[in-house]
């Protein structure tokens, strides 16, 4: 080798390793993963809040049902009792089925609507008093059965 080439070879540096990539900014895939996780957390929080709101609403309606029994004695004030129970049934129905015509139903059609949506195995014959009871001079009904049916209705659709 000539002296000229040896000087040039002496000036060459050894192979060096590149620097490690930094932690910031993350790669685009990490940004996408972060957005997906954030969206999932938001959807989970929304579902939990919806469940809590529904549970609170059900609890309020069940408390209202208990107060109806204590406020209106079915033996002495049957018409007020039936009207209050009917209002509770209607409030739950309007919340659960807003796109139906249940708000305009009355009498036998209203009772048929309620009976058709009761769970299987529930004897909903006691609901018939909601159609004819408010107009009867002394309606004959079982308040305990009506309370139970209202409770089932609230638990299922409230």
* Mean of per-residue pLDDT scores for the chain: 90
Instruction: Provide the pLDDT for residue 3.
Output: 65
Let me know how long the chain is. 158
- CA 82, chain centre distance (Å): 28
pLDDT in tens, 92-132: 999 999 988 888 999 999 999 999 999 887 777 788 899 88
CA distance 136 to 147: 20
Position 136 pLDDT exceeds 60 = yes
pLDDT in tens, 41-75: 999 999 999 999 999 999 999 999 999 988 998 88
Position 13 pLDDT exceeds 90 = no
**CB-CB neighbours of 105 under 10 Å:** 16
Whether residue 25 is preceded by a cis peptide bond, meaning omega within 30 degrees of 0, is yes
Instruction: Provide the pLDDT for residue 2.
Output: 64
Instruction: Provide the pLDDT for residue 95.
Output: 93
For the chain, the domains span 56-157
Q: Angle, to 10 degrees, between the axis of helix 78-96 and the axis of helix 108-117? A: 60
């Amino acid at each position: 080798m000539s002296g000229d080439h040896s000087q040039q070879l002496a000036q060459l540096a050894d192979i060096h390793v590149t620097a490690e990539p930094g932690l910031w900014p993350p790669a685009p895939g990490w940004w996408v993963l972060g957005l997906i996780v954030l969206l999932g957390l938001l959807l989970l929080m929304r579902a939990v809040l919806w469940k809590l709101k529904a549970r609170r609403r059900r609890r309020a309606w069940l408390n209202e049902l208990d107060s109806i029994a204590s406020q209106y004695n079915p033996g002495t004030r049957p018409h007020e009792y039936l009207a209050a129970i009917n209002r509770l049934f209607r409030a739950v129905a309007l919340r659960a089925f807003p796109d139906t015509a249940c708000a305009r139903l009355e009498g036998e059609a209203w009772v048929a609507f309620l009976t058709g949506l009761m769970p299987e195995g529930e004897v909903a014959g006691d609901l018939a008093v909601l159609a004819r009871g408010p107009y009867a001079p002394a309606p004959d009904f079982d308040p305990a059965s009506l309370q139970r049916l209202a409770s089932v209705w609230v638990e299922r659709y409230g």
